[in-house]
Structure formats: structure tokens, C-alpha cells
Amino acid sequence: MHEVIIPGPEGRMEGRYSKGKGISPPLVILLHPHPIHGGNMNNKVIYNCFKTFTSLGFSVLRFNYRGVGNSEGIYSGDEGIGEMTDAACALDWLLLSNTESTKVWVTGFSFGAFIGLNLLMRRPEIEGFIAISPPADKYDFSFLAPCPVSGLIIQGDKDDIVNETDVALFANKLDSQRSISIKYKKVKNADHFFTNQLETVNKEIKKYVFKRLEKDT
């Protein structure tokens, strides 16, 4: 794992990067929770995703949005527009660092899932996503009409921040669209941060990603 500096729209953004295996490893960008609520790239869920994707041979990038940690700039309070721009710049950096790679994924936790799903609507090179505790009861996800790629949604059934029923309805609505498949995994006895359940999250990610990559080969 290497510390990296990424050129961002508001200045330099700090990140952590792990180069994948081979000449053209699959790529994934990891997006952390809301900065106002203490979200950063060292969030336990994001850090565990980093380790999981690294073990799968991906080139993996996690980074801090503007104004978080040592990233320059300030939170703009614009419902995530600034963070979406940050994510797009981080994805550009990841692609330039892996010019032979063609498989691109995005993974986000909580607010980061909202940012990630916005990003995939704007970046046709993204072919898969994982949304962990997407805040379906707090943000408007109607922009996913249609959703261009298949993905995995993971949600805890004891989440007191994001309502599980709303996430399940959101997942079912996406899955009803043509040409894509959305897998929904409800983790029993898991709170918003998957306390004592992170290994379950890791296993679900590995199982889903492995199956997708195997299918594409």
C-alpha cells in the first residue's frame, strides 16, 4: 500500500493505493461516508473493502474528499456535487495509473454509496458496483433510471441510521430493470457500521466479485 497525492478540483487529495496483480488488473475506487459525520478513507468498512479487493488482485484506491484529513479544500454543502467531482478526479488518476486495465468497479459505504452510484451514471467504463448501506431513505436515487450496470447491495437489518426496508425496496426496484441484475444481501444483526460483522461483508464481496469476474472470463 502506498500513500498517493491526487490532483483534485479543489487542490491535492490524499489517498492510499495498492497496485493489482498482472499487467491489466481490475480496478476499484472506494468512497467513504459523509465528511460532516466524520467519514474518511480510514473508516473501518472502507478499510476492510480495501483489504478485500487487494486480496482479489484489484488495483485499489481509497482517498479523502475535499477538506477531509490532509485533502485540500472545504466541504461545500452541495448535496454531494463536490464529492462527485472529487471521485471523478480520483477515478481519472486510477485509470491513468493502470492504462492496460479495462474492468472498472466502484464501491461506496453510506454517503459514499450515493456518490458511487452517481459516478457510475457519468462514467461508462464502470461495469460493476457494490453499495453498502446506501441511504435510500435520505437521498433521491431516481437518477438510476435506468441503472446501466449490475451490482451488489449490502445492508444490515439492525441499522438505526439507514432504514433496511427502504434499502430493500430500492434494491428490488433496481433489480426489476431490464438488462441488469441486482443482488441484495441483508446481514442479520448488523448495525450501520457492521460492528462484529465486517467479515460477513468481506465474504459477500469476495463471493459476488469472484462470480462476476469468472463469468466475464
* pLDDT for residue 78: 75
b/e per residue 196-215 (b: at least 16 CB within 10 A): ebbebbbebbeebbeebbee
Residue spans per domain, the chain: 2-216
* pLDDT for residue 38: 87
* pLDDT for residue 89: 98
Q: Stretch 85-111: mean pLDDT, rounded?
A: 96
* pLDDT for residue 21: 87
Collect all residues with Cβ–Cβ distance below 8 Å to 84 and sequence separation of at least 6.
115, 118, 119, 122
Report in angstroms the alpha-carbon separations of 102 from 34, 64, 80. 29, 24, 27
Q: Stretch 89-106: mean pLDDT, rounded?
A: 96
Radius of gyration of the chain (CA): 16
Phi, psi angles (nearest 5°) of residue 62: -120, 150
DSSP 3-state of 130 = strand
The pairs formed by 175-183 with CB atoms below 8 angstroms and a separation of 24 or more are: 177/145, 177/146, 177/147, 178/146, 179/146, 180/146, 180/147, 180/148, 180/149, 180/150, 180/151, 181/150, 182/147, 182/150, 182/151, 182/152, 182/153, 183/151, 183/152, 183/153, 183/208
Determine the Cα angle at 74 with ends 193 and 163, to 5°: 25
Architecture of domain 2-216: 3-Layer(aba) Sandwich (3.40)
* pLDDT for residue 217: 55
pLDDT tens-digit series, residues 35-85: 988 899 999 999 999 999 999 999 999 999 999 999 999 987 778 899 999
pLDDT tens-digit series, residues 108-131: 999 999 999 999 999 999 999 999
